[in-house]
Amino acid sequence: MRILPVLPLAFALAAATAGAETTPPASTVLHCGHLLDTVAGKLLGETSVVVEGARIKEVRAGRADVPGAQAIELTGATCLPGLIDSHTHLTGETSPTGYTDQFRWNVADYAIRSTVYARRTLEAGFTTVRNLGDGANASIALRNAINAGVVPGPRIFTAGGAIGSTGGHADDTDGYRADLQGDPHAKDGIINGADDAWKAVRQHYKDGVDLLKIMPSGGVLDESSSVDNAQMTIDEIKAVVAAAHDYGFTVAAHAHGAEAIRRAVVAGVDSIEHGTFMSDEDMKLMKQHGTWYVPTIIAGRYVQEMAEKPGYYPAQVAAKAKQVGPLIQQTAGKAYKAGVKIAFGTDAAVYPHGQNAKEFEYMVEAGIPPMVALQAATTHAAELLRKSKDLGSVEAGKLADVIAVDGNPLDDVKRLQKVGFVMKDGRVYKNETVR
């Protein structure tokens, strides 16, 4: 799925109140009623997490007194690592007017709204995201603003705009009348051949992305006719992957159709996003190649629901949404049973931002155990990002990204939809769990 484009006008980003301490205390101790050990896959009892600056200094069993440290009481809650959403679009959000807004809104309109979406995401407990597609590189500017402390939001690893083919899911001019279509090319992420692929990757590097996202199959939210046809050749995908490796990038592949998934896996991409029509053969290939799968069940469920509302989507889009919605959850459950590696991702923006944790509920419904679903959003997602040294678990030396929920989320994953405490990089952004 894709996010609607941002028109190429001058970028403007409004500063927002950070909503967190300007400087975190030198030392903080979190007194947790329980701690979810995502590495060992078990729930621990009372635990104290000692934080110094942006990192965790130590994790002690029981209640530890740390002289001079600011104490935060989370004794009625379960602490766990900050969650990671491996598939978001923070610079837009679903709307029944979205297809016409793109002709009325300026880049600044999208940019200002993105600061709100970023804050909602952080306060929902997601301290890190991969942003897989935007317009006008707005997510790069948002990432930089968050890193500079100008606005609050999750840690962003962004792909900038997606790379795809003429008329494909990455082509933002699909559905435009002829005189507005133009001819998007490699500089815009639209490629036709291996040479174009190298040009597109190098342009993305120049723009300052963290990873790459390609569109080798059709998608739901563009106005073309197919959701699953293959839209990039295997040579084009191989060229993107080869160029990406030159620059140290991973490659995420939006792919609904089985043939597109096969081509992407054989060509060496790091993850398959959505994977609705994934075949048994695709699953075997993914296991052989060590390819990650990011299901985004919530997106499929949401578009199916909205497709029933007359006028919410164009007729072509609604038809595809009804086709994908009932299948994507079944595929996720089948892939888990087949042993495919799963990382948590939601396609945020396809549904309203801040509701990311509903994905846990849908994963469990698909037959994925609660602990595995939580590991998908912590240790597994950190591995996909190649950031396991810093993220994914509450351990000494790692970044101090800690959240807390009332009760035991392993007994009821819906508890994750009501995160009461959020710390990122040692700063507290939300605390509604004070006892």
pLDDT above 80: residue 151: yes
Picking from 257, 362, 342, the residue whose alpha carbon sits closest to that of residue 293 is 342
Provide the whole-model pTM: 0.94
Mean pLDDT over residues 42-69, rounded? 97
The average confidence (pLDDT) of the chain is 94
pLDDT above 80: residue 13: no
Interval 96-143: pLDDT, tens: 999 999 999 999 999 999 999 999 999 999 999 999 999 999 999 999
Mean pLDDT over residues 373-378, rounded? 98
By CB atoms closer than 10 A (0-12, 13-18, 19+), residue 194 is: middle
Q: Of 5-14, 94-103, 181-190, which gets the smallest average pLDDT?
A: 5-14
What is the predicted pLDDT for the residue at 11? 36
pLDDT above 90: residue 174: no
Helices (H) and strands (E) in the chain, counts: 13, 17
Six-digit token string for 78: 């379960």
Q: Which CATH architecture has domain 83-385?
A: Alpha-Beta Barrel (3.20)
Which listed CATH number (3.40.50.1220, 3.40.50.2000, 2.30.40.10, 3.65.10.10) goes with 27-81+392-431? 2.30.40.10
Mean pLDDT over residues 63-80, rounded? 95
What is the predicted pLDDT for the residue at 173? 85
Mean pLDDT over residues 276-282, rounded? 98
* CA–CA gap between residue 430 and residue 80 (Å, rounded): 15
Task: Provide CATH 2.30.40.10 ranges for the chain.
Answer: 27-81+392-431
More confidently predicted of 13 and 281 = 281
What is the predicted pLDDT for the residue at 189? 96
Mean pLDDT over residues 287-308, rounded? 98
Task: Provide CATH 3.20.20.140 ranges for the chain.
Answer: 83-385
Torsion 132-138-143-149 (CA) sign: negative
pLDDT above 70: residue 16: no
Work out the number of other CB atoms within 10 angstroms of the CB of residue 120: 19
Mean pLDDT over residues 391-396, rounded? 98
Which DSSP letter does residue 382 get? Answer: H
What is the predicted pLDDT for the residue at 237? 98
Picking from 365, 351, 362, 360, the residue whose alpha carbon sits closest to that of residue 378 is 360
Mean pLDDT over residues 75-98, rounded? 97
pLDDT above 70: residue 71: yes
pLDDT class for 23, splitting at 50, 70, 90? low
pLDDT class for 434, splitting at 50, 70, 90? low
What is the predicted pLDDT for the residue at 175? 85
pLDDT above 70: residue 391: yes
What share of the chain has pLDDT > 90, as a percent?
Answer: 90
Mean pLDDT over residues 57-68, rounded? 96
What is the predicted pLDDT for the residue at 183? 87
pLDDT above 60: residue 1: no
* CA–CA gap between residue 392 and residue 375 (Å, rounded): 8
